Structure formats: C-alpha cells, structure tokens
Structure 1
Amino acid sequence: MMVINTVLSVMAYDYPPEKLAVYLSDDGGSELTFYALTQAAMFSKHWLPYCRNYKIEPRSPAAYFKSASRPSNTKHDRDYIFVKKLFEEMKDRIENVTNSGRVPDELRLEHEGFSEWDSFTSPRDHAAIVKILLDHNDDNEGQSLPNLVYMAREKRPSHFHNFKAGAMNALIRVSSKISNGSIILNVDCDMYSNSSDTVRDALCFFMDEEKGHEIAFVQYPQCFENVTKNEVYGGSMRVLREVDFHGMDGNGGPMYVGTGCFHRRDILLGKNFDGESRIDWTLENDHNDTTENMIEEIKNLASCTFEIDTEWGKEMGLKYGCPVEDVITGLSIHCRGWKSVFYNPKREAFIGVSATTLDQILVQHKRWSEGDLMVLLSKYSPLWYGLGRVNPGLIMGYLMYCLWAPSSVPTLYYSIIPSLCLLKGVPLFPTVTSEWFLPFAYVIFAICAFDYLEFLWCGGTTRGWWNDRRIWLYKRTSSYLYAFLDTILGSDLSFVISSKVMDNDVKARHEKEIMEFGVASPLTTTVATIAMLNLVCLLRLVMKSMLMDTTTRRVYYETMAVHVVLCAALVALNMPLYWALFVRKDNGKIPDSVTIKSVILALFISIIFYLL
C-alpha cells in the first residue's frame, strides 16, 4: 500500500496527464506488487477526477484521508464518502492478497499480465516483465489518464544486477521507447508526492531563459512524516536540508541523493555541457507504438545482457560499482560542466518514512558512509576529478560527506582515550590554570554553541539537538568506523535495504520517543561497549575522588578537567542506552547477549589499560 499510494500521488500531479508517464520498477518482480498496481490503475479512474475537481492536497490517498476532515459541501461530501469507500475496498483487497502470500487463481484471470509469472523462478532468477496497465486510457469523466507501466528487469544468478543503479538504467531505456519524456522524475517507493505543483515548479528551472540550459537536475529535500517532535533518531536531516544543501546550491548545485530529483534525460545519457545545451522538447513521443512486437523489443532493453560491451553504468546512466550510485552520478554530471538546483519549497514536495530503530539508522549510515569513502578513493574523487572542473566550494561540500567514514577515527579516540586516562590520572590536556587551557575551552564551547544555535534556527528543539548529538556519536563510533575498516581492508560490500515497515509495538515506542535497540549486531555491540567503558571510567573517578582529601581533589580536577567533562558528557548522552541495558524489559531493550559482551569488554579494556 505504501508503494501504491506513492504511485497514485505522482499520477495526480496538476499537469496535463497526456504528458505524464508513471513507471513502477519492481526489482523484486513480485506478482503481489503487480496485483496491487492493477488495483491502483482501476482506482485512479476515480481518484484523479476527485483530485482535479476539488484541488485537494496531498494526493496520496492514505495521507489525504488520514489528514482531511469531512467536507461541508454536500456534493463534495458525497464524492468524498464514495472515493474513500473505493479506497478502503482497494486496500482490503490488496492486504488480503498480500497476507495470503499469493494471488488467487480467480484474480489472476482478471489481467493477462499474470501469465508472466507462470515461468517465474525467483526474485533473483526471472525474465524481464513489462506491462502497460494504462495507455492514456480515459478516467470516469472522459479525460485522459497518465501512462502507467509495470517493469521488472530480467535477473539471472550469473549476471550481477548492480542494485538500484541497474534498475534505474533499465528504466531509462524502457521509458525511452514508451514515452521518452525529456524530464525524468526519480522517486523512491516510500516518498509520496505531497504537492501537486511540483512538476511545474521543477520545469520553471529547466525552462528559465537565462540559466535553464545549465541545469542538469533539480533536487528536492528528503522530508519524513514519522519523525517525532524531538527526533529521537535524528532522522529529519534538518541541518542538511536547511543549511548544507543551500550552501552547495550557491556553489554549483547540490548532490543527487537518489530520490525526489528531476533529471534531464539527455544528460543522464552522457551529454556534455556546451553552453547551448537546451532541451529539445520536440523529441518527446506522446503516443509510441506499444504493440506486442514493441513490448518484446522493450523487454530486450530490460534484459540482464543488454549492457554487455556498452557504456551503460560508465558514461551513460547511473554509475556502477558504488553503494551511493546517486552521489557519484551527480558528481560526474557536475564535472561535465552542468549545474544543479536545490529547491526547498515551503510545502514539502515529497514526504517519506524515516528509520524507526537504532539498527536501521546504523546500517543505513554504514552503507552511505562506505559509499562516500569509495567515491573519495575512486577516479571520480572530488579531490582530483573535480579539481578545475567544479567550484572549490562544491568540492568542499562533497568532501563533507566523503569524509564521514574517516571522521570515525578522531571521534573514537576522543570517546575512549581521555576517559581511560581518568583511570590513571594521566593528563592529555592543559590544566585549568594554564593559559593553554583557553584554546581547548574555546573550541569545545564554540562548536557546541554554534551547533546548538544552528539546530534551533532550523526549527529544532533543545531535546532534539541532544538526541541528534547522541545519534551523531553512535554513527561515528560504529557505522562510520565499520565503513572505514571495510573499505580500507577491502571487505566485500553488501547493499543492505533499510526496512521501513514496523510492527505495532515498535510504532508505539517510537511515538513515545523510546529508543529501539532490540537487535544483536556488531554495530550495537560496539556502541554499547564504548558506552559501558565511559560509565566504568566515570564510576571509578567518583570512587577515587571520594578517597581524596579536599586539596588533592581540587588539584586533580584542575588537572583532569577536560577529561572529566568529556567522560561526563558521554555518560549523559548514553543514558537511554544504560536504561536499555539494565532496566527495560520490553522487546526494544538491548539483547542480553549484547549486554554481557559489552560489560565484559569494557571491564577487560579498562583493567588492561590500568595495569599498563
């Protein structure tokens, strides 16, 4: 249903439907998804006229019916009740089929497309499937509907499929034969359209008489509907959206982030900037031949062998060989002389679902930071590939993300070593009475104050900033660290898809802003061990200071002031984790196996360091 609501929201844009074509790339090749899309095609004949007649927002049915109140106008109210009833019936049909795990035989007779699954082997071993569900059919008021196409590219175990980049490139080729739109909007399945004007807004940049010929893509920010008030997982990307990307926009344009982005088709196909690179709108095919012979030809474009000995994945389409195919593709486009635009409208253009557990966040950022470091070390590194090709400010903007993984090393040092030094009273920083203490105090205070005020200026809360600092610490000491080690040691990269589905218990805890641990993994164990190590060191400090006389205690705290502040701040940040380690009994607590490992490792490290 999440996928279907996204599809319906982009079908309902306030734009001539005969100029729109919507493609669903189903990389799982699921007949359940195909069934859901057939139901959405039927429902769209009622949904799009309703959106058009009453100018509603948003145009995702689930989001609209969740937020809208009953209309006071009698006719509108009748239509509202009728369309909502149709939506609920569609939802029930889709969920009943999904829960059963297969499409019943009697329902398979409703559409000839289900025959494609007669020879289906598995999601990783099947032929290409391309089905046009709507070919500018009329809605129930006689007006045209957008094209609606289902596609599952061919997959075979003997051919590497290149993840999302491979799926996007197959989709670019297939769409060129069916609609060949000059502009391509790429949206993830969980990012529904929240504004019907988004297409028109994006086209304003491409069609600008003075600067439009320089624009390769228009990137909208990622916004999320399930982020809590105080952002317990720091998932809003608030500062990135309100500050960082605007800075990149002023230096040549933001990076491509993989969703909510309008691309020029010709530039994705490898076109270089020549100063007069305007869009040729006459190349669009509004009504291509979509006979069975044409469909077979189109399927060839989605085959796993089509790209052999071609430039796809190299000079054409999205780049291969990197977990962040979007970033490296956007960088290569910038290096070819193009610019991009970051547009952050007052009404969010796209709204999605953020991760709702700590493990999801850590896994997601491990993949991102690993991919960004690979970009830094590749031939497309902004340090050397971008030098002389793009604005130096844009190079710095890219490096801010490419250096996520290496930043784990100094963070890990400051999270462990100063606390361990408390055990033996070994000072690493100047004493409070020394004039050299002032630079350290200034840096610590200035960074924290600036970061806090910036977060509040972006619309955050004080508690939200504190939560953001906690997640920042966890990511740098686990996700970024493992990404750094995997890349440096040459470990095999695994592309992990972040689950956006949560059960009722997880949802309830998320709404109450209770952190969800609940998974035993190396990432969680690392975070818990470092937290326990800081707690052991602070408790040892308290015990040690209780045995000191007043003068000795004062001298000790003057000497070890920075260590005490760092250790105490780390312990304060980790309070929810300690609660999950020792107090909580729900399923979201830290697993007992992780608790035992972290306590043993923390005690072992502190004892070894103390005895050295």
Structure 2
Amino acid sequence: MTSKWHIGMESPTHSKVQTPKCRNQCHVEVEQPFSSSCIACMKLYEKLKADIEAAKNDETISGSWSKDKRQNHDAYVEIIEDGDGVEEIPALVYVAREKRRAWPHHFKAGALNALLRVSGVVSNAPYVLVLDCDMACNSRASALDAMCFLLDRRPPPDSLAFVQFPQLFHNLSHKDIYANELRYIFGTRWFGLDGVRGPPLSGSGFYVRRDALYGATPTADFMPDATAVAELKTRFGHSDRLVASLRSPGVPPEAEAMMSLAALASCAYEAGTAWGAGVGFMYQSVVEDYFTGFQRFFARGWTSAYCYPEPRPAFLGSVPTNLNDVLVQNKRWMSGMLAVGVSRRHSPLACRPLLRASLLQAMAYAYFGFAALCAVPVLCYATLPQLCLLRGVPLFPCPAATAAAFASSLLQHMAEVCVSRRGRLDLRTWWNEQRFWVLNALTAQLFGCVSAAQELLGARALDFDLTSKAAVDGSLYQDGVFDFTGCSALLLPATTLSVLNAAAIVAGTWKMSSSSSSSSGGFHFAPQLFLMCYGAALSYPLLEGMFLRRDPARVPPRITALSVALAAVLLAAMLG
C-alpha cells in the first residue's frame, strides 16, 4: 500500500508535464520516443520509479504498513488533484477502503463498488472506465472509440451498457508457452459474441454506464428525482452526498467534507443496502465480471459492444510469467464460473426463461460456465488408455474411426488459429494452445471443479485466489522455458499422469512388439499407443522439469517424488 500511495502522490508531477504537451502537440505519440517532450517524460518516469523503490526500502515507511495492518485499517480518501480548470489534469483521488477481519470485503467487486461510490460524489461522470492495476491506457483514443458506441442514438435507443476492449499485453513472449495471449477469447469468441447482443464483461478494459450499474434498465429510465430520499438511502446507503449525486452532477467536496468521503469506503456503509446485490458489481461470485455482466446487464435487457482498435491497442497489461501464477489465475476463473453455472438461482440456462437474455446468449454464457467440466473427459483420456493397455484391453475397437475423429479435432483447432491470424498458418500458437489446454484441464480446471463442489456443499468459504502482480524476472518465459517456481499440489495431477503415461508407453511398446507375430493383435492397441505418444509430446516440459533440469525453476523435488510414488501405486494396482 505504501508504494500505491507514493504513486498517487507523485503522479500529478508527471501528469502536469505530459498533459499540456498532449493538448498542444496532439500528434505526439509513442511512435516518436525521441521527441523532446517524450524524453522529458521518460526522465520524470525514471525518477518516479527511483522514488517508489526508495519508499519501499525505507523501513520507517514500509514498517508502518505491515501485513497485519494491510488487512486491518481505516478508510482513507485524499483528493490529490481536483481537476478544476480546463488546462488542469483530470481529478485524481486516492482511495483506500477500510479493511477489518470481522467484515467481508468481497474482493475485487467490493473495491470497485467503493470506488464507484467515491467517484459518484467527486465527479459523478455518467461513464466509468475500469482497469486492473497491471493494465494501462495505451491510446488516448480509447475514450473516443467507446463514446462512438455509447452515444450512438440509433435504435434500439440507449440499450448499450458497456464497451469491452481486448486485453492485450506488452510483455507477451513471441513463443507464449502458457497461451497467455488468450487468442481464443479476444481473437475469436468475443468477435462471435459481438453478434449475439455483445461479449461478456471481461474484468478490465471496459467503459460502462454508471446508471446501468446503479440498476437502470433500457426500457425504464433510472429516475432518482421521482424516488423518495428514504428509498434511495435504503438502496444506496445513508450518505446524503451520494444520494444528492444521483439527482445532479457531483461537485468536488470541500476539505472539511473528507470524512464523508471516507465513510463511503468504510466496511459498515453497505450494511442493509442493495450494494452487491441490486446495485453495483455483484458479490456472490469470485468472477464478478462474468456474474455481473449476465445478471446485472444482459438479464435486464442491456447489450454490449466489442471494440478492437488496430493497429494500436487501447490498453496494455502484463501477463504472468511463471506457470504457477497462470494456473492459479485459471483456477479462480474456472471455479467461479462453474459455481455460477451449476447454481439453481443464477445459472444462465436455468434462469434464462425468467430473464431478458436471448437463448443464444444464455448458451454462450453456459459454455463458459461449464468450461471447467472439460477436466473430466481429459482426465479419462489421460488414464483409461494407459491402464487398459497395461491390462491388455483394447479401448478403441475401430482404429480408423478413432484416427479420423482425432485428426478432425486437430484440424478444426488449426483452422480456428488460421482464421484469427488472417490466413497465416501459425503452428507455434496451435501447438502451445494444444499443450496448455491439456495442462490446464488436468490442473486448474480439475481443481476448479473440486473447489466449486466444496463451495456448493458448504465445505469451503468463498475465496479469491490472488495472482502475483509484482514485477518478476520473466527471462525463462521469454526464452520459451517453463518456469515451475512456486508450483504446489496444483501441478500434482498433471505430473503424476505424465509419469504414468511414460511408463505405459514403455509397457505398451513391449506388448505390441510381443504380439506382432500373432494375428494382428498389436494393431488394436495402435490408437491407444499413438494417443499416449501424443500425450507424451504435450507433457514433455513436465517430464523435463522433473527429471532432466537442475535449475531452481524446475519442478519442485517434493512434487516429483509424490508423482513417481502415486504413478507407481497405480501401476502396481493395475499389474497386480
């Protein structure tokens, strides 16, 4: 928190230099990095980085924000710049919401709602831009692009709730071994969903209507002027300033009103109100974007739009550069969406007849809601062919049909990659996505299913698995080498099945060679053996990390030992 506060305090110095230059020399872009204005800004940026590092290393400052205090502190709001004047930079406000162990803070959705309340009093802008802390604006035209959609008055009038931009990344490796590009989402599926009332809310990089978040619908205007003050306070809380902002544009508060701003970010403010249920981002899921997008917007008749500006991305973020962070992130997505998908109250398919979402849109949301269940067939293909081969049982009675089905699935994926690459055959992307899809199914999706089942049974509280946002050395990722640093039991199913598969290949080869003299006995095992060889090629980075590598980023030895032991138990059980 110390570094975030320091960034907030120092950023106006940087902005006051950059803003006038952008207004007077609107042609200056990042493509001209050696212009005098850009050089001056880069020097200021380097100074800001040095000051932040110095503040982090200052024990008198960092010691005051211990790990315990970061989870137990008062609300703090400071208006750094009020944005008063045409030539000034926009309003800049630092907000730290209150944290108490006795109060649920509702993770990212709770933070967004606190910011929504404070901004409603400070500026009350009709549109809100949401960005994650590891994403930054890369083009000043993003607001103009979004407004072209949001201010369009063509029929149906005022039905657009938000404009979603793709999530692109500045540190993406050209090898991209973890499929961090998310090409199948932002390069394929979101374009298709743009024709079915719009893509889902994607967590970051979107402009959204404030009144839509407040509970308005396209067919019934949000009219706080005609609503009693007592009713507004029941929904939005006891703040007179927030209720007043619902009726008229907000005015930057005076210095003596700072306490009222801090109250908006307190833990107790939402008690007895509609925040998190009928107002703002919804709380019942760790995937607040997926859940809020369907229940708050599409289910009430709103639509969305997908804006993919080229060649300059609107926003750029940072991808995780080690395998553990990627899997933890995917596990949170999978468990959260599956919990929504199987919910009787909130499932896109179960509640679709009661809502205003179209059938195709509900099916699309259900596809993502049940994506974690892909772990079940992948787990079957990673165990049954191997164990059946060891027992001498041919699993695929018709080898030709099996080969045709397998080849068609690979060709379908290859065609999808070619279309998204505009006709270019990108075998590296195709292979990386094939490999990570299997790895993700045996780790993040599998544990996501377990986590969702525990939540439904009440055996586990709702938890938000954080992905590290700290700057780390991503040299291995850039070189195309798997970084297993920090990997835990999340990786254990994949490593165990990789060892089992390798052992089954050896046994299967011997079995086929010994039965080749008999009447085509080994031919029936050919599909199983080919499938296992394909699995071995996909899992080679895991086997290499367990048995061939000796660097610190290899698979942790305890995971390797457990994997070998579990695989040995399975082999002994099948051969015994």
Note if contact 1:420-1:537 (Cα within 8 Å) is conserved in structure 2. yes
- Preserved CA contact (<8 Å) 1:32 1:103: no
Q: What aligned pairs does 1:353-368 form with structure 2 within 5 A after superposition?
A: 353-368=318-333
**Is the contact made by 1:31 and 1:103 (CA closer than 8 Å) also made in structure 2?**
yes
Letter in 2 for 1:177: V
1:181 to 125, 129, 136: 125
Aligned counterpart in structure 2 of residue 128 of structure 1, from 53, 71, 75: 75
**Which deviations, in whole Å up to 9, do the C-alpha atoms of 1:499-519 show, x marking residues without a partner?**
133433xx2211111011133
Distance 1:502 1:297, change over 3 A: closer
AA paired with 1:551?
A: S
Structure 2: runs of 5+ lacking an equivalent: 226-244
The equivalent residue for 1:191 is 135
CA distance in 2, matches of 1:172, 1:118: 25
Question: What's the CA shift for 1:345?
Answer: 1.4
Q: Deviations over 1:475-522 (max 9, x none)?
A: 111111111112223333321111133433xx2211111011133411
**Cα distance in 2 for residues equivalent to 1:517 and 1:274:** 52
Which residue, 192, 205, 226 being the options, matches 1:260?
205
1:146 is aligned to: 90
How many pairs does the alignment contain? 545
* 2:377 paired residue among 410, 420, 425: 410
Say if 2:111 is the partner of 1:167: yes
The equivalent of 1:501 in structure 2 is 470
Distance 2:360 2:198 in 1: 10
User: Which residue does the alignment assign to 1:384?
Assistant: 350
- Whole-angstrom CA distance in 1 between matches of 2:247 and 2:551: 56
Q: Partner residue of 2:437?
A: 472
Shift of 1:101: 4.8
Cα distance in 2 between the residues matched to 1:81 and 1:261: 30
In 2, distance between residues paired with 1:104 and 1:560? 63
**Within 5 A, what are the aligned runs for 1:107-126?**
122-126=69-73
Provide the residue aligned with 1:329 in structure 2: 292
Q: 2:21 aligns with which of 42, 46, 50?
A: 50
1:397 equivalent in structure 2: 364
Report what 1:607 is aligned to.
572
Distance 1:81 1:191, change over 3 A: closer
Distance 1:118 1:423 in 2: 58
CA contact (8 A) 1:431 1:558 kept: no
Name the counterpart of 1:442.
404
Residue aligning to 2:337: 372
The answer on whether the counterparts of 2:485 and 2:553 sit within 8 Å (CA) in structure 1 is yes
Distance 1:43 1:371 in 2: 39
Task: Label 1:104 to 1:376 Cα distance change in 2 as closer, same or farther (>3 A).
Answer: closer
Query: Shift of the alpha carbon at 1:324?
Result: 0.2
Residue 317 of structure 1 deviates from its aligned partner by 0.5
Compute the displacement of 1:137 (Å).
Answer: 5.2
More divergent stretch after superposition (397-406 vs 193-202)? 397-406
Task: Work out the CA distance in 2 between the residues paired with 1:40 and 1:424.
Answer: 67
> What is the aligned partner in structure 1 of residue 496 from structure 2?
529
Answer yes or no: is the 8 Å Cα contact 1:185–1:262 preserved in 2: yes
Please say which of residues 561-570 and 167-176 is displaced more in the overlay: 561-570
Q: Deviations over 1:411-445 (max 9, x none)?
A: 1011111121111220221233xxxx42x333221
Question: Kindly tell me: are residues 104 and 448 of structure 1, through their superposed partners in 2, closer, same or farther at Cα, counting changes over 3 Å?
Answer: closer
Question: Which amino acid in 1 is paired with 2:219?
Answer: D
Distance in 2 between residues matched to 1:340 and 1:277, nearest whole Å:
18
Q: Deviation of residue 398 (structure 1)? A: 0.8
**Contact persistence 1:318–1:325 (CA under 8 A):** yes
Q: C-alpha separation between the residues in 2 aligned to 1:375 and 1:104?
A: 39
User: What is the CA RMSD across the aligned residues, in angstroms?
Assistant: 2.5
- Tell me, what secondary structure is at the counterpart of 2:158? helix
In the TM superposition, what whole-angstrom CA distance separates every residue of 1:366-417 from its partner, at most 9, and x where no partner exists?
1100000111123121012223621221112111211122221111011111
Matched-pair contact (CA < 8 Å) for 1:231–1:468: no
| Distance across 1 between alignment mates of 2:65 and 2:330 | 39
Instruction: Give the deviation of 1:547 after TM superposition.
Output: 3.5
Correspondence for 1:519: 486
**CA–CA distance in 1 between the matches of 2:67 and 2:553?**
38
Which residue of structure 2 aligns with residue 215 of structure 1?
160
Deviations 1:114-164 (A, max 9, x none): xxx8999711111111100001256xxx82210000001111111111001
Q: Does 1:484 find its partner at 2:449?
A: yes
SS of alignment partner, residue 298 of structure 1: helix
Question: What is the letter of the counterpart of residue 204 of structure 1?
Answer: C
The whole-number CA distance in structure 1 between the counterparts of 2:406 and 2:379 is 17
User: Is the Cα–Cα contact under 8 Å of residues 520 and 593 in structure 1 kept in the other structure?
Assistant: no
Amino acid at match of 2:475: A
AA in 2 matched with 1:224: F
Matches of 1:120 and 1:413, distance apart in 2: 43
Equivalent position to 1:41, from 12, 21, 32? 12
Q: Is the 8 A contact 2:299 2:356 kept in 1?
A: yes
SS in 1 for 2:274: coil
8 Å contact 1:213–1:275 — kept in the other structure?
A: no
Amino acid at match of 1:85: K
**Is the CA contact (8 Å cut-off) linking 2:215 and 2:222 kept in structure 1?**
no
State which drifts further: 30-39 or 118-127: 118-127
2:52 to 87, 94, 112: 94
Contact 2:32–2:38 (8 Å) recurs in 1:
no
Matches within 5 A, 1:218-297: 218-274=163-219, 288-297=251-260
In the alignment, what sits opposite 2:231?
none
Instruction: Give the match's secondary structure for 1:406.
Output: helix
Against the structure 1 CA distance between its residues 56 and 462, is the aligned structure 2 distance closer, same or farther, given a 3 Å change threshold? farther
- Work out whether residues 77 and 94 of structure 2, in 8 Å CA contact, stay in contact via their aligned partners in 1: yes
1:24-45 Cα offsets, whole Å, 9 max, x none, are xxxxxx2331122111111211
Task: Sort the Cα spacing of 1:101 and 1:609 in 2 relative to 1 into closer, same or farther, 3 A.
Answer: farther
For residues 185 and 81 of structure 1, do their structure 2 counterparts lie closer, same or farther at Cα, with a shift above 3 Å needed? closer
Q: Distance in 2 between matches of 1:383 and 1:310?
A: 29
Give SS of 2:69's match. coil
**What secondary structure sits across from 1:351 in the alignment?**
strand
Tell me: CA distance 1:393–1:426, structure 2 relative to 1, closer, same or farther (3 Å): same
Provide the identity percentage.
Answer: 32
Q: Distance in 2 between matches of 1:278 and 1:244?
A: 36
Letter in 1 for 2:445: Y
SS at match of 1:501: coil
Amino acid at match of 2:57: N
User: Following TM superposition, by how much is the alpha carbon of 1:244 offset from its aligned partner in structure 2, in angstroms?
Assistant: 0.6
Preserved CA contact (<8 Å) 2:161 2:212: yes
Secondary structure at 2:352's aligned position in 1?
Answer: coil
Q: Helix, strand or coil: the match of 1:474?
A: helix
Unaligned runs of at least 5 residues, structure 1? 1-29, 59-63, 72-76, 106-116
| C-alpha distance in structure 1 between counterparts of 2:252 and 2:40, whole Å | 36
Higher mean displacement: 117-126 or 237-246: 117-126
Give the Å deviation of 1:202.
0.4
Aligned match of 1:319: 282
Preserved CA contact (<8 Å) 2:174 2:478 = no
CA distance in 2, matches of 1:121, 1:365: 28
The one-letter amino acid of 1:499's match is S
Letter in 1 for 2:153: E
CA 1:486–1:304 in structure 2 vs 1: closer, same or farther (change >3 Å)?
same
Q: Which amino acid aligns with 2:83?
A: H
Q: Distance in 1 between matches of 2:483 and 2:2?
A: 33
